[in-house]
Structure 1
Amino acid sequence: MSLRLLKAAAATENMDDFHLSRLLLLLRAFDTPRKRHSVQGIMKLAKFDFLLRYPTCLKRALEAVDKSEELLQMGEYETMNVEAKMIRFRYGPWDGRYRRWIGLLAARGLVETYIEKNTIHVNITDKGKAVADQFSQEEEFKLIAQRSQLIYKYFNKLSATAIKDFIYKVFPEIKTIKWGDEIQL
């Protein structure tokens, strides 16, 4: 691997737009024709994003709920790949930039947030849906959009605590990682 490629990968990891587009596609999956669902809590959003960032973990999670027939399409390159690393935090996988990213999405009119019972809810707006729908047609984002749909379909009904417990059960190795260290699965 060349130094130029490594520098490009590092630069991409630090680009907000890269993360905003992924979160927008994830939030789009929660807006169904029947009902608009908010993601209830930043911690819950982080857990869903963990499954999206770590394709091999999403595969394991789907197997854990006996949905192997709907396993995501994974290229061989993805078996050793993580889209964007996360760290271990008190309640599982975390990235300290979520509040900034949600603020950026809200400032652009792509999401709206509200607080209910001390929980921040995040909803995609009509403008956000239009942008996410455009992204989902692009080759680079098709797999992220499909995986977001799988996450919504199989894990949306779990509470924030239940998804945290599920992640610790399916990925017990996360418990052994020190707080603040990168998750390498």
Structure 2
Amino acid sequence: MRTQRRQAEQREVHYHEARILLLIARFTTPKSGLAGLTKLAKLDFLLRYPAMLERLLAAGEASWPEGTAPTPSERLAVESRMTRYKYGPWDQRYYSILGSLTARGLITYGNSARAEFRATPQGAAAATSLAATPEWAVVDSRIRLLKQNFNKSGSALKNLIYDRLPDAVDRPWRTEI
């Protein structure tokens, strides 16, 4: 029983790492990366809660590229819960996920006023391989939609979520969304 639980936990960790790697890789350009933990957390929130993302898209449901709209079950649930924290949705696993991706040479990040996360060449190759699989193709398409419509600063994303998705943030700190 303990071994099965440990294996399930490891699969979950790998799942979160893969999603974050895809997100960082798609926002990495030759000149810049994904700027800041706030931006990472807000984009990840919209990725994990596609029904919330749909509410922010200008044309709503019509904005989704073919095959990427939330399924009926996704409209009622989320892929993994986040917690309401100081500046909105947050997942306490970000630090360990980012550390693991860095330790394996898949991302780098600078520690200036705000961290900028970049996929390394090895990380970009891994993300490209992941995106080519049926399991990750929809996630990758949704990330591309995020980049096209929400490539804003972390503060601007936070304000957008606070203004347009009050039900996601009007709750006590450390409660699940």
TM-score, scaled to structure 2: 0.87
- What's the offset of the Cα at 1:102? 0.6
Give the total of aligned pairs.
169
Q: 1:125-179 CA distances to partner (integer Å, 9 max, x unpaired)? A: 11011111111111111111000111111111x2111110001111111232110
Give the distance between the partners of 1:25 and 1:144, measured in 2 at CA: 8
Paired position in structure 1 for 2:107: 111
1:161 is aligned with what amino acid?
S
Paired position in structure 2 for 1:100: 96
Residues 61 and 36 (structure 1), Cα distance of their counterparts in 2 relative to 1, 3 Å cut: farther
Give the distance between the partners of 2:10 and 2:78, measured in 1 at CA: 11
- 1:127 matched to 2:122: yes
Paired position in structure 2 for 1:165: 159
- 1:28 matched to 2:25: yes
Residue correspondence of structure 1 range 1-185 to structure 2 within 5 A:
11=8, 15-32=12-29, 35-62=30-57, 65-66=58-59, 68-71=61-64, 72-116=68-112, 118-156=113-151, 158-183=152-177
What SS does the aligned partner of 1:123 have?
Answer: strand
Aligned alpha-carbon RMSD (Å):
2.0
What SS does the aligned partner of 1:15 have?
Answer: helix
User: Retained in 1: the 8 A contact 2:61–2:69?
Assistant: no
- What's the offset of the Cα at 1:81? 2.1
What SS does the aligned partner of 1:113 have?
Answer: strand
What runs of 5+ residues in structure 2 fail to find an aligned partner?
Answer: none
Give the distance between the partners of 2:131 and 2:44, measured in 1 at CA: 16
What runs of 5+ residues in structure 1 fail to find an aligned partner?
Answer: 1-6
- What's the offset of the Cα at 1:13? 9.0
- What's the offset of the Cα at 1:29? 1.4
Paired position in structure 2 for 1:4: none
TM-score, scaled to structure 1: 0.84
Give the distance between the partners of 2:32 and 2:141, measured in 1 at CA: 17
Give the distance between the partners of 1:90 and 1:18, measured in 2 at CA: 25
- What's the offset of the Cα at 1:12? 5.6
Give the distance between the partners of 2:172 and 2:21, measured in 1 at CA: 30
User: Retained in 2: the 8 A contact 1:24–1:128?
Assistant: yes
Q: 1:73-99 CA distances to partner (integer Å, 9 max, x unpaired)? A: 222221112011100001000011111
Give the distance between the partners of 1:44 and 1:24, measured in 2 at CA: 14
4+ residue stretches of structure 1 with deviation over 3 A? 11-14, 65-69
**In percent, how many aligned pairs have the same letter?**
35
